[in-house]
Amino acid sequence: MDYHKTLTTERLTLRPPRPGDEADLQAIHGDPEVMRYFSEPAWTDPERPARQIAADAADFAAREQFRFAIVLNDTGRQIGNCGLCRLHWPNRRGEVGYALNRAYWGKGYMNEALHALLRFAFVDLDMHRLEADIDPRNTASTGALERLGFQREGLLRERWIVGGEICDSVLYGLLRREWAAHPGENR
């Protein structure tokens, strides 16, 4: 399987994580508002960014999962990340995940990054179906998915217990043929 390790869009470069990304990564995942609907709290351990970068870089190289750093071309700084995990090659499906530094919300950056990620998944990796598992209260995230054509497929009740709080999940799905009908459109 041949695939692109760097994806480019008008304003962004998506590339594998690497040492040097620690401060930008901490700025994203150290923010309790960004982490509000994650299954773990905001990062406080100073070693955590380096550990995550090492794990993500190794997973990327081994094609276990693909987490891209989203870099703003104008500044060269990482403003977020997005990726594919829980890849199930026999069924050609995987799950998308993403987070953006709060200072960059509301500017269409994740929309732009996810367009590139979807193309990577459906063209480079030949995926058939992508999924996302989202807290239904996370309307910024459900909005981002719906703009890309993901369909809300079902509610999974009380699926996560995060810091003692019991949370539902909504499962979103996007099929390759649905994406192929509108590959570059901003919906």
Ligand X SMILES: CC(C)(COP(=O)(O)OP(=O)(O)OC[C@H]1O[C@@H](n2cnc3c(N)ncnc32)[C@H](O)[C@@H]1OP(=O)(O)O)[C@@H](O)C(=O)NCCC(=O)NCCS
Q: Is 143 in the site for ligand X (CB under 6 A)?
A: yes
With 0-12 / 13-18 / 19 or more C-beta atoms within 10 angstroms meaning exposed / middle / buried, residue 177 is exposed
Could you give the C-alpha distances from 168 to 8, 26, 37, 98, in angstroms and in order?
35, 27, 11, 19
- Considering only 94, 141, 150, 179, the residue that binds ligand X (CB under 6 A) is 141
| Secondary structure of 48-93 in HEC code, one letter for each residue | HHHHHHHHHHHHHHHCCCEEEEEEECCCCCEEEEEEEEEEEHHHCE
Sign of CA dihedral 14, 17, 21, 22: positive
Cβ proximity to ligand X: between 61 and 85 the closer is 85
Q: Is 106 in the site for ligand X (CB under 6 A)?
A: yes
Cβ proximity to ligand X: between 1 and 129 the closer is 129
User: Are the C-beta atoms of 176 and 124 separated by less than 8 Å?
Assistant: no
**In the window 37-96, what residues touch ligand X (CB under 6 A)?**
37
3-state SS, residue 172? strand
**In the window 144-163, what residues touch ligand X (CB under 6 A)?**
144, 147
Cβ proximity to ligand X: between 90 and 163 the closer is 163
Cβ proximity to ligand X: between 113 and 127 the closer is 113
Q: Is 99 in the site for ligand X (CB under 6 A)?
A: yes
Cβ proximity to ligand X: between 2 and 10 the closer is 10
Distance of closest approach, residue 41 Cβ to ligand X, in angstroms? 13
End-to-end, the C-alpha distance of the chain in Å comes to 30
Sign of CA dihedral 83, 85, 89, 90: negative
Name the one range near ligand X by CB under 6 A: 56-64, 135-143, 161-169, 174-182: 135-143
Cβ proximity to ligand X: between 19 and 106 the closer is 106
Q: Is 140 in the site for ligand X (CB under 6 A)?
A: yes
- Considering only 69, 100, 117, 130, the residue that binds ligand X (CB under 6 A) is 100
CB atoms within 10 A of CB 69: 23
Residues found near ligand X in the complex (CB under 6 A): 34, 37, 97-100, 105-111, 134, 138, 140-141, 143-144, 147, 186
